[in-house]
Structure 1
Amino acid sequence: MTDIQRKETKPRMSRIVIHQGTVYLCGQVAADASKDITEQTQTMLDKVDGLLIDAGSDREHILSATIYIKDMADFKAMNQVWDDWVPAGHAPARACVQASMARPELLVEISVIAAQK
């Protein structure tokens, strides 16, 4: 039987799931949804950093990222924050789609899969 480790588990989901050296993060959103796309993207990525560290990984080990953006008019501003955040030479596979959000004030959400260090 393969070990599956779950962290910060609640009835609906775990914030981190680790299986065979692969880290799966639940969707992350901004710390303050009243802010603009730049601030929402930065604080969302800050949360990803913290979760990856807790899981024994970091942004250089991200394998895949799926970004959900409320309005593609914010795509360029979101990408400016993303491009500064991703370490040179370590860009993951990535998809970005326009999507309805769970709360109307949310502008961006990310789901990440990474390898442990």
Structure 2
Amino acid sequence: MTSTVKRFGAQTRFSSIVVHGNTVYLAGQVSQLVDGDITAQSEDVFAKIDAMLAEAGCSRDSLLSAQIWLRDMSDYDGMNAAWDRWLEGRAKPVRVCVEAPMAKPHYLIEVLAVAALDG
């Protein structure tokens, strides 16, 4: 069985979305909100993930896993509050959350997600 790989949003170094078989892989998402606190940045990132999943043909209901990096673990509770609202009433994916330096000083959060295609 040959599986087709589809790539969306190809850039110089990576694709924004890769679909292989029935699995959707998203590139890590960050917020461009320079003045946003962890709640605002988390909500912005989760909205980006929603849009990317829709582009690939699925939704947050199909999330399999999420990897979350925070610039500072003191933002853990604020991120979790936004996360809980975003996934309220939905099945929860497997998840990891760690502290890590970010590529730009205003980035407070980065999220990488994997989902299954609906249907």
Give 2:30's aligned amino acid. Answer: V
**Distance in 2, Cα, partners of 1:41 & 1:33:** 13
Other structure's SS at 1:67 match: strand
Spell out the pairing of 1:45-84 with structure 2 (5 A cutoff).
45-84=46-85
Q: Secondary structure at the match of 1:14?
A: coil
Secondary structure of 2:48's counterpart equals: helix
CA distance in 2, matches of 1:99, 1:50: 25
CA distance in 2, matches of 1:14, 1:62: 19
CA RMSD of aligned residues (A): 0.9
C-alpha separation between the residues in 1 aligned to 2:57 and 2:88? 17
Aligned-residue offset at 1:89? 4.1
Which deviations, in whole Å up to 9, do the C-alpha atoms of 1:49-87 show, x marking residues without a partner?
A: 000000011000000000000101010011000000014
Name stretches of at least 5 consecutive residues in structure 2 with no aligned partner.
none
Deviation at 1:34, TM superposition (A): 2.2
Q: Residues 70 and 106 of structure 1 are in contact (CA less than 8 Å); yes or no, is this contact kept in structure 2?
A: yes
Q: How does 1:22-37 map to 2 (within 5 A)?
A: 22-37=23-38
Distance across 2 between alignment mates of 1:58 and 1:87:
14
Q: Structure 1 residues 86 and 30, CA, compared in 2 at 3 Å: closer, same or farther?
A: same
- Please give the TM-score of this superposition, normalised by the length of structure 2: 0.95
2:97 is the counterpart of 1:96: yes
CA distance in 1, matches of 2:34, 2:52: 19
Unaligned runs of 5+ in 1: none
The question of whether the paired residues in 1 share the 8 Å contact of 2:66 and 2:96 is answered with yes
- The amino acid across from 2:79 in the alignment is M
Q: CA deviation at 1:30?
A: 1.0
What stretches of structure 1 move > 2 A for 4+ residues in a row? none
Per the normalisation by structure 1, the TM-score is: 0.96
